[in-house]
Amino acid sequence: MSANSPTVPEYTSYRTIDRGTFNEYRYRLTEQFFALREHYRVRNELNVSVLRQMLETANNGYSYLPDNLLNQNALRELAIEVRRGIENPRNEFIYNDILQALANYIEQIDIKQIEGSIEAIPLNGNAPLITTLRVNAQDPTGTQINPANIRWWMNV
């Protein structure tokens, strides 16, 4: 959320590949942050409706994260600050605390990268060639990958 950041986080644009992942919720939270910031700058108070949306979005997005203490704590800290903002919408210190907790939640969350490979059988033959594609994916957390969560995009 830093204005001086040299790289643009990938959750500042919504991509098809983000649907159904934590990045979808990062994007939504970023949109809600911009709405909250605009309201605060114009009216000098927090928009309670946006805060409630942020809390709901953060809770829904958590289901796409590994359930560990680091992630639980990031969600708890954000929830605490948002609830404080709902109770005291004119407090600048709480506004800043919300921004910090939100940045921690969307930027410091613990997500392990899934690695995988694709196998094509057969690799060559006469036209029309019928090929079977298989994916071998490993989640470093040990979570079983549901085959329904594997998406294929082909550019032929």
User: 54-68, pLDDT tens digit by residue?
Assistant: 999 999 999 988 888
3: confidence class by pLDDT, cuts 50, 70, 90: very low
Give this prediction's pTM: 0.71
Structure tokens at 25: 């919720």
Report, as an integer, the average pLDDT of 83-90: 98
Q: How far, in Å, are 77, 108, 118, 133, 140 from residue 111 at the CA level? A: 18, 9, 22, 27, 10
Q: How far, in Å, are 5, 63, 106 from residue 71 at the CA level? A: 23, 11, 10
Q: Report how far residue 12's alpha carbon sits from residue 28's, in angstroms, rounded to the nearest whole number.
A: 9
Burial string for 77-102 (b: 16+ CB within 10 Å, else e) reads bbbebbebbeeebeeeebbebbbebb
Q: Report how far residue 121's alpha carbon sits from residue 42's, in angstroms, rounded to the nearest whole number.
A: 60
9: confidence class by pLDDT, cuts 50, 70, 90: low
| Region 10-107: CATH code | 1.20.120
Cis peptide before 122 (omega within 30 of 0): yes
Domains of the chain, by residue range, sit at: 10-107, 115-149
Cis peptide before 140 (omega within 30 of 0): no
